[in-house]
Amino acid sequence: MSDILDQLQEAVIIGEPDQARELAAQTLQSGIEPLRTIEEALHPGMQIVGDRYECGDYFIPDLVMAAEAMKAAMGVLEPELSARHEKRQVLGTVVIGTVEGDIHEIGKSLVATMLGAAGFDVHDLGVDVTAADFVREVQQANANVVGLSALLTTTMLNQEAVIEALKEAGIRDRVKVVIGGAPASPDWAQTIGADAYAENANEAVAVVKQLLGV
């Protein structure tokens, strides 16, 4: 790996958006293909961040800053990818959001960022998302995974509502449903008919990969 790619990976790991943006620009100036930069610097950098979070060396603020650094670098690389008519390898399409009535965002956003960094096409619907909006986006994006976040015991019931809406629309069998959030659990996932539960962003990536066999 070139020195620039090493430095860019480190900028992501330590969460330095400005440095990541500048280094991403330098990779292009040096003639390094954007796909190579993503695959050899950004993806492994975020993987290291996720591993450190999982083992307790990193905390949510560290994840947030790393995600910002990743986004900053991608903001430089994505236009070049489009200009070259190149696309990243997409492992699957994920529609994610915080369910209706709930406006908690940090956990859901981290999951979305980590999935994007891992190679998934992520459609983040934000917070307070209705069941109808989830169904509509799944249909439009031809998604094969739905991520449902809820941070309140009063709103976790809407995770079940989304699953029922997917059934009513006749598309439940074509998507895998993963739930998360403080009140959720593997038992709750089983109760409402979800395919899996993920406790954190790193686990979510592993779970989605396992469900899709990628």
Reported pTM: 0.82
Q: What is the pLDDT of residues 99-113, one digit of tens each?
A: 999 999 888 988 998
- pLDDT value, residue 127: 96
Domains and CATH numbers, the chain: 3-83 (1.10.1240.10), 93-212 (3.40.50.280)
Q: What is the pLDDT of residues 148-175, one digit of tens each?
A: 999 999 999 999 999 999 999 999 999 9
pLDDT band for position 81 (50/70/90)? Answer: confident
* Distance (Å, whole) CA 120 – CA 153: 29
What residues contact residue 131 under an 8 Å CB cut-off, 6+ apart? 99, 100, 158, 161, 162, 164, 165
Average pLDDT over residues 31-54: 90
Asked whether 109 and 124 are in contact (CB, 8 A), the reply is yes
Q: What is the pLDDT of residues 66-78, one digit of tens each?
A: 989 998 999 999 8
pLDDT higher than threshold 80 for residue 88:
no
Task: Please give the mean pLDDT across all residues of the chain.
Answer: 93
pLDDT exceeding 70 applies to what percent of the chain?
100
Average pLDDT over residues 182-203: 94
